[in-house]
Amino acid sequence: MKNLKLYTDAELFDLVKNGHSFAFSEIYNRYWEILFRHAYRLLKDKDLAKDIVQEVFVSLWDKIGELDLQFSINAYLYKSVRNKVLNLIEKDKVKNNYLESLAAFINSSEAITDYRLRERLLKEKIEKEIADLPPKMRQIFEMSRKQNLSHRQIAKELNLSDKTVKKQMSNAIKILRLKLGGFIVLSILLKLISI
């Protein structure tokens, strides 16, 4: 068998379809870096870009038996990355629109008294979840959200790198979304039921 680097994409694809995982490894090695750069250029987030590319390759592996590529594997992979990025952006846009409309509703002067009570309970729940964050993460989160300091200012004050501060903020937001997601939905459902 000749060196895999000498195989065309079409030849590698046929080998993978016939169960040769070493050919899949070659496709992965050939395109991972290029696809990562493509995803990063669109998202400006290395972790998200890595996740997207990984998902594309997992999906390719899962669907390889069903695929009948009319275009090159290169075109298929690029299109898959682009579609996953667009789906992620759309999902974030919907989530942001939801949160903005929720914030507008909460700030509405028409909110009834019992809703204000639920709002206070939600704020208390948020404060409790923030207090439960690991100490350094909580400190960074509060400096950012309550003192309105930039990542650079926080990094300088705590003698940390900007990257560490950014990662801690990202982790804090992920944790809070996970812990508060159901509570926010429940709060809205209770409001709708009481109307």
Contact criterion met (CB below 8 Å) for 8 and 16: no
* Total Cβ atoms within 10 A of residue 152: 11
| Angle of the 9-17 helix axis to the 21-43 helix axis, nearest 10 | 120
- Give the integer Cα–Cα distance in Å for 138 and 94: 27
Winning range, highest mean pLDDT, from 22-31, 106-115, 119-128 = 22-31
pLDDT band at 185 (very low <50, low <70, confident <90, very high): very low
- Give the integer Cα–Cα distance in Å for 35 and 49: 9
User: Class assignment of domain 4-90?
Assistant: mainly alpha
- Checking if the pLDDT of 92 tops 60, the result is yes
Q: What is the rounded average pLDDT for all residues in the chain?
A: 77
- Give the integer Cα–Cα distance in Å for 165 and 157: 11
- At 167 the three-state DSSP class reads helix
- Give the integer Cα–Cα distance in Å for 151 and 167: 10
Region 160-186: mean pLDDT is 75
Query: Percent of the chain, pLDDT > 90?
Result: 5
- 1 burial level (CB within 10 Å; 0-12, 13-18, 19+): exposed
- The pTM of the full predicted model, rounded to 2 decimals, is 0.46
Please tell me the total number of residues recorded for the chain in this structure.
Answer: 195
pLDDT band at 96 (very low <50, low <70, confident <90, very high): low
- Domains of the chain, by residue range, sit at 4-90, 110-194
pLDDT band at 60 (very low <50, low <70, confident <90, very high): confident
Q: How far is CA 193 from CA 95, 106, 116, 186, in A?
A: 22, 16, 15, 10
For tokens 């404060």, the residue is 127
- Give the integer Cα–Cα distance in Å for 183 and 2: 58
- What CATH number belongs to 110-194? 1.10.10.10
